[in-house]
Amino acid sequence: MIKLFVNKIFIYLSLFILGSLCCVNISDAYLSTGRGSSIIENNNLKKAEREAYKRALENAISNFYKQYNRVETIPSITGEFFKFINSYKILNRYVDDFTVYYEIEADVQKVDLKDLSYTVKNIKDAVVYFLDITGNVSVVKQNELGKIASDLFNKYNFSTDYQKEFSLSLGVKPRYKDLVDTFANTGGKFLFDISVKYEIDKADIDSICKMEMLTKIYTREKRMPPIKYSTSVIKPSTQDALLGAFTKSLDKTLGYVTSNIIKSPEKNTRIMDYHIIALNYKTYSEVMDLINSLEDKGLVDSYKLVKYNHKEILFNIKTKSDIGELSEKIKGYHPDYPLSVEILDESILVDFYGKKEGNIVQ
């Protein structure tokens, strides 16, 4: 019965995910296998299906990049990367021990990491974290501090997509080896081991929380220098004092980390205006296939048709890409033969057939 239910859900999920995938015309694509799983919580099988399916797709893209790059250079893979998947097929899916599992083979478009700042709007590094809290008064729940931590990591452009999976895989009192081994099996790029010691005292009707936070950061290859931050916060209640001190300590710590240790992935926010001029083409649709492909890949933000006749088609485009880099991408658009591309001032001239034998449009 549960298999039939899973099959029905899969049909709906396939339609949903396919709507998010952009099938684009590309020259370089590679097969990559990904696996994903999700625990069924509160009998919500549909949610677990969706999460496992999404994680398998993300894992396929991540595994593709791992073939050609060092792990520490790969950003967090999010749903925005799904536009690089041309097609996919499900190799296996099943439910076991209240967990949904997916294995997917995806046909992934090759986009160099250096080009991601042009094609992905919000690049983040994935982190997982462990909080070790010691104090003289227990006034807040661990999940309250975890919520604050996740919000602050996101504020500093870190992704916490793998945190839930990481936390569920840890025991109650994990050892250092448990943390490192569990971290290695997630998609996280950095592990933050955060130790917090605090004391709460009364000052008239207010509460004072004195806190010391020690943060150790790990990658899969090395440990970074530890960071210690101390503070005190006065609030009307003990709970507010503790939450305020924790928020301030972690905020200051992450501010220091992103300024001095882990630089945020480069964002390219410049928008430039160029022209693309198509020459010696066979059909208008052939030219539009090129323009739409550039837009699908994120290389062109938007375009406007300015001129169209039997000799040339002129587009005004807005892009984050440098004109030289964009022209190189256009050259490699066709897998079988390169287009003739020339830069003239702020324009890219794309000659489809003029410099080849036959099929010349006069």
Q: Which tens digits make up the pLDDT trace of 268-309?
A: 456 788 999 988 888 888 888 888 888 877 788 888 888 888
Our CA dihedral for 6, 8, 9, 11, rounded to 10 degrees, sits at 120
**pLDDT value at 159 more than 80:** yes
Token pair of 331 as six digits:
């050259």
pLDDT for 26: 38
pLDDT digits (tens, 9 = 90+) for 45-74: 988 899 899 889 988 888 888 877 666 667
How many residues make up the chain in this entry? 362
**Residue type at 332?**
G
Residue 171 has pLDDT above 80, yes or no: no
- Each domain of the chain, given as residue ranges in start order, spans 2-115, 125-260, 272-351
Q: What is the pLDDT of residues 298-353, one digit of tens each?
A: 788 888 888 888 888 999 988 877 788 788 888 877 766 667 888 888 889 998 87
Across the range 7-11, mean pLDDT stands at 44
For position 335, what pLDDT does the model report?
64
Residue-level pLDDT at 17: 43
Q: Label each residue of 280-347 as H, E or C.
A: CCCCHHHHHHHHHHHHHCCCCCEEEEEEECCCEEEEEEEECCCHHHHHHHHHCCCCCCCCEEEEECCE
Please, which pLDDT band fits residue 121 given cuts at 50, 70 and 90?
A: low
Q: Summarize the confidence of residues 81-98 as an average pLDDT.
A: 88
User: In the Cβ-directed half-sphere of 349, how many Cα atoms lie within 13 Å?
Assistant: 13
Mean pLDDT of 239-247: 92
Residue 113 has what pLDDT?
Answer: 64
Which pLDDT band holds residue 217 (cuts at 50, 70, 90)? Answer: very high
- Residue 340 has a pLDDT of 85
Query: In this predicted structure, what is the pLDDT of residue 28?
Result: 56
Mean pLDDT of 244-271: 82
Token duo for residue 147 = 């919520």
Q: Find, among 105, 91, 97, 104, the residue nearest to 2 by Cα.
A: 97
Selected residue with higher pLDDT from 24 and 168: 168
Looking at the domain that runs over 272-351, which CATH code has it been given? 3.30.70
Q: Do domains 125-260 and 272-351 have the same CATH topology?
A: no
Q: What is the pLDDT of residue 245?
A: 93
The mean-pLDDT minimum among 137-141, 150-154, 292-296 falls in 137-141
Ranges 68-72, 142-146, 186-190: which has the least confidence? 68-72
CA distances from 82 to 190, 338, 348 (A): 23, 27, 29
Euclidean distance between CA atoms 61 and 345, whole angstroms: 37
89 in Cβ contact with 102 (< 8 Å): no
Round the average pLDDT of the chain to a whole number and report it: 80
Order across the sheet with 85-96: list the strands: 29-39, 99-109, 85-96
Ranges of H-type helices in the chain: 2-20, 45-66, 116-119, 142-155, 163-169, 176-184, 238-260, 284-296, 323-331
Query: CATH for 125-260, among 3.40.50.1010, 1.10.275.10, 3.40.718.10, 3.40.50.10610?
Result: 3.40.50.10610
pLDDT (0 to 100) of residue 102: 94
Tell me the whole-structure pTM to 2 decimals.
0.59
Site of tokens 């005004």? 316
Task: Give CA–CA dist 53/187, Å, rounded.
Answer: 15
- Span 102-113, average pLDDT: 82
- Helix, strand, or coil here: 207? strand
Residue 211: pLDDT above 90? yes
Per-residue pLDDT, 116: 67
How far apart CA 15 and CA 228 sit, in angstroms, is 49
Is a pLDDT exceeding 70 seen at residue 357? no
Contact (CB, 8 A) for 100 and 49: yes
